[in-house]
Amino acid sequence: MTNVVRRALRAGAGLVGAVVLGGLLAGCGAGGGGDVGSSGDDARPREVVPKVSEAVISITPDDAAHDVLPDGQLRVGVEKGELTQVKVADAEGVPVAGTLAADHSGWLPTGKLALSTQYTVDAYAVDGQGRRAAKHAVFTTLVPKHKFIGFYTPEAGSTVGTGMIITVNFNRPVTDRAAVERAITVHAKPAVEVAPHWFGSRRLDLRPKRHWRAGTEVTMSLRLKDVEGADGMYGTQSKNVRFTIGRDQTSTVDADAHTMTVRREGQLFKTLPISAGSPDHPTYQGTMVIAEKFALTRMNGQTVGFGGEYDIPDVPHAMRLTRSGTFLHGNYWAAPGTFGVTNTSHGCVGLADVKGGRSTTPAGWLFEHSLVGDTVEVINSHDRTVAADNGMGGWNLSWQEWRAGSAAALDSAASPESGSNP
């Protein structure tokens, strides 16, 4: 067979195939057995209409919303159907826990969202016919203009005395004290109840009913991040602060006897001669706590209301007892025979020392054997009791008085659900 014939046969076969295919197409379009040449609506292919779910999902806040508050704003709901799944996560993929209503009509987060964070929401539902629906949204939470932090003592990792009172000072006034107070907790091992007490709007102190037990391990948890301390003002801290209670040492200053009695674990450790405040400037009465230690410091009367009566640039072995300026310190300028005999200071408790300080002097010995957090009780000074907020003077309040300074306790007592009155 020649090439020309072969090409002719192939061309004929192609034509036959085309005719048959055309007939098949025409037959399908006519609905089976219809006239190939017929026309009209019945000749056109029928459109397949998709079955759309009747379930309507709603997400609050709206997609692309900004400055969304971290609590009480996010919710997912559905009408004419049931939610099957809700997924919420931040930009790093960390999921947000939530609870689906028993009838699957809504979903709410179980906690607060984080501030300054973008969240993605994907919700899924089915209607009564099992047809599925989905909705997607992205929003960003509030970026606060005002923030606050707490500066705390004692320092993390420190070892302190049994009289230590935890103090948190805030850089801005706190109006929702109950919310801030609930965000600061203290756990001790061995366990002991620790109660909070507010001094104004910027300071929160915490202590147990009695002095800490020696060797106690203490952890303060600051969970202030995203806590609204005042209108539009949010905290930024989330950290744990751990410290240890050291050996038990307490001291008693008898202003009339001009002595300081130091006891370690309840036993007499040492008795030192001192010079307390003069009759014109007596030392505060009551229990104080060593808050700071300085090997050498300057003491200027102008900073504590005594004008230019004194300005000593190199006071040795100084340990602060009050915020108002009461110190235990070394004294190298007093006349011989002052200590143990007479009271001459402007309210401080002085011990014999030499210029520059020396560990073998009474002041040097006390400095080396003292910790921040050791208590010092002053008796027979014939002055008023030191204020509870003057340094760590909180031990001068009874336990009942101390606990009355808790904003959260008062808030709970005032709540109708508590069943009691403030």
Domain 56-140 has CATH 2.60.40.3780: yes
Nearest to 274 by CA among 358, 375, 357, 361: 361
Determine what percent of the chain is predicted with pLDDT higher than 90.
79
What's residue 288's pLDDT?
98
CA–CA dist 158, 178 (Å, integer): 28
Could you please state the CATH topology (level 3) that the domain comprising 146-246 is classified under.
Answer: Immunoglobulin-like (2.60.40)
Q: DSSP characters for 14-69?
A: HHHHHHHHHHHHHHHHTTSS--TT--SGGGSPPP--------EEEEESPTT--SB-
Q: What value does the mean pLDDT of the chain take?
A: 87
Share of the chain above pLDDT 70, in %: 83
Task: For residue 36, name the pLDDT band (cuts at 50, 70, 90).
Answer: very low
Q: What CATH fold (topology level) applies to the domain 249-383? A: L,D-transpeptidase catalytic domain-like (2.40.440)
pLDDT value for 388: 98
DSSP H or E segment with residue 399 = helix 399-403
Q: Does residue 288 sit in helix, strand or coil?
A: strand
pLDDT of residue 42: 55
Give the model confidence (pLDDT) of 198-215 as tens digits: 999 999 999 999 999 999
What is the pLDDT, as a whole number, of residue 223? Answer: 97
Question: Average pLDDT for residues 53-65, to the nearest whole number?
Answer: 96
Element (H, E) at 11: helix 3-29
Does residue 105 carry a pLDDT above 80?
A: yes
Q: Are strands 327-331 and 311-320 parallel, antiparallel or unpaired?
A: antiparallel
pLDDT given for residue 4 in this prediction: 37
What SS3 class is residue 311? Answer: strand
369 torsion bin: left (phi>0), alpha (psi -120 to 50), beta (else) = alpha
Q: Is residue 66 over pLDDT 80?
A: yes
**Lowest-pLDDT range of 220-224, 317-321, 363-367, 407-411:** 407-411
The predicted model gives 164-173 an average pLDDT of 97
User: Where are the domain boundaries for CATH 2.40.440.10 in the chain?
Assistant: 249-383
Segment 32-46 shows an average pLDDT of 48
The stretch 35-56 carries a mean pLDDT of 64
Asked if residue 6 has pLDDT above 50, the reply is no
Note the pLDDT of residue 51. Answer: 81
pLDDT at residue 139, as a whole number = 96
Contact 284, 349 (CB under 8 A): no
pLDDT over 70 (residue 318) = yes
CATH 2.60.40.3780 residue spans of the chain:
56-140
370-391: pLDDT as tens digits: 999 999 999 999 999 999 999 9
Reported as half-sphere exposure (CB side, CA atoms, 13 A), residue 12 has a value of: 6
Rounded average pLDDT over 108-127 = 95
Query: What's the pLDDT score for residue 312?
Result: 85
According to the model, what pLDDT value does residue 9 have?
35
Catalytic site residues? 329, 348
Q: What are 243-293's pLDDT values in tens digits?
A: 999 999 999 999 999 999 999 999 999 999 999 999 999 999 999 999 999
User: What whole-number distance in Å separates Cα of residue 129 and Cα of residue 123?
Assistant: 18
Burial class of 17 by CB neighbour count within 10 A (0 to 12, 13 to 18, 19+): exposed
Contact partners, residue 397, CB within 8 Å, separation at least 6: 197, 388
Per-residue model confidence (pLDDT) at position 336: 80
Average of pLDDT values for 142-155? 95
Q: Are 281 and 274 in contact (CB under 8 A)?
A: no
Q: Which of 70-84, 114-128, 190-204, 301-315 has the lowest mean pLDDT?
A: 301-315
The 10s digit of each residue's pLDDT in 9-28 is 343 333 333 333 333 333 33
pLDDT tens per residue across span 326-379: 999 999 999 889 999 999 998 999 999 999 999 999 999 999 999 999 999 999
Predicted TM-score (pTM) of the model is 0.77
